[in-house]
Structure 1
Amino acid sequence: MITTYKMTLEDFLSFQEDMIHHSTQHRKSRNLWLIFMNAPALLLGYLATMFVFPRPQSFSLFLLTVIGVGFLFALLLRPLLKDLYAPIVLRQIRRLVTKDYVSPTDVTLQFHDTYIEMHAVRGNISRTTQVPWTSILKVNEDETHRFLYYEEDEALIIPKAKDGVTEVEQTEIDRILETHLSTSINGRL
């Protein structure tokens, strides 16, 4: 089966968002982000203690209160800081990519019995990638795309609903993916 569509900047950003939420590299970066951002949260707790609460008679009690409130602020702000990582990184990627983005990429996917072939043409540059079904590591999806990862940070982006991909083609793509991925990956989806 052969299907053709145009991959836009939004398709690429959707893939980047999926990587932010599921890749090992971003999981490590998110943990470093949390460690780094706990310092301002501790400082905020310290400042709140210094200027809001009355100063106790004992310096050791004051010091214990400052440290306790600082850690409490860091602990309470942790979920917010964790949720802020993805939008900040996605905004940085969008800013970097939009400067260099020229035009949509014409993509042709050919599904064969042993591999998927992707032929992409962007301007004068043409690229062909063949990915054996057995080398697909995982499959992630969102509302509009499927991502067939064949490396940690490389994937084939298959739209679920896109101009140029008809509903009949989408049904056939679903059938082909279900056939090949359920037998070759055995539960690693």
Structure 2
Amino acid sequence: MIIHFQLTYEDHLALQRNAIKNVKYHRKREKQFLLILTVIVGSIAMYFASVTLTTSLYYESPALYNSVVVIAGVLSVLILLPIIKKLYIPMMIWQYKSMTKRNTEKKWPINMMLTLNEKGVEVNSERNQVKGSFLIDWEAIQKVGEDENRFYLYFEDNDAVVIPKKRGVSNQEDQDALQKTLKYYLNELF
């Protein structure tokens, strides 16, 4: 099966989103991000609680004062935790976009031709008259990611080949054939 398409910047960003959700590095980094952000939020809440409470309460009952400050910090973290958890992916995409913002119009789109056969996935690309080609054996593919528009074949922890589900595959028969081919060779990963 041969698939011709143009890999766009949007495809590349979709790959980054998928990698952020599925790659070990990002799962570990997300936990660190969550921990740091919860400590910051809790500290700010405790600071504001200590500033807004009257000093007379501190002198009358230091234990009550400290308890109220700590409870304010813990409650603010618990209340904001669902929001904090959702911040990692948008922050990473924003960071990636800001790093790659320069010269995106010169790099995209990339003309791609993928050949899926019994050996693996042969990837041929051409950008600005520079051609590249490599073969990924089926056994080298470690993980398969998917969203509504693309498949992601990870052959290393942070490297993948993007296969659009509809672009490059002209009709429903070809889309079904693509799905069957991937399931045949990568059954245990689907």
For normalisation by structure 2, the TM-score amounts to 0.89
Does residue 87 in structure 1 map to residue 116 in structure 2? no
Q: C-alpha displacement at 1:51, in angstroms?
A: 4.7
2:68 counterpart of 1:65? yes
One-letter amino acid matched to 1:151: E
Deviations 1:24-73 (A, max 9, x none): 11111111111221232112321442355556330111012111221221
- Could you tell me which residue of structure 2 aligns to residue 165 of structure 1? 169
Alignment match, 1:136: 141
Structure 2, gaps ≥5 residues long: none
Partner of 1:152: 157
Aligned length: 184
- Residue by residue over 1:71-100, the C-alpha shift from the partner in whole angstroms, topping out at 9 and shown as x without a partner, is 221232222111011011101112222313
**Native 8 Å contact 1:20 1:26 kept in 2:** yes
Letter of the aligned partner of 2:93 in structure 1?
L
1:22 paired residue number: 22
Deviations along 1:117-172, one digit per CA (max 9) or x if unpaired, are 0101111221212111111111110011000111100111000122x420233222
Check the 8 A contact 1:44/1:73 in 2, yes or no.
Answer: no
| Residue of structure 2 equivalent to 1:176 | 181
Q: 1:125 aligns with which of 120, 130, 154?
A: 130
The residue type equivalent to 2:24 in the other structure is T
Calculate the TM-score normalised by the size of structure 1: 0.90
Deviates more, 1:170-179 or 1:138-147: 170-179
Using the alignment, how far apart are the partners of 2:43 and 2:141 within structure 1?
A: 46
Amino acid at match of 2:186: L
Partner in structure 2 of residue 2 of structure 1: 2
In structure 1, stretches of 5+ residues that fail to align are: none
Equivalents in 1 of 2:40, 2:49: separation in Å? Answer: 14
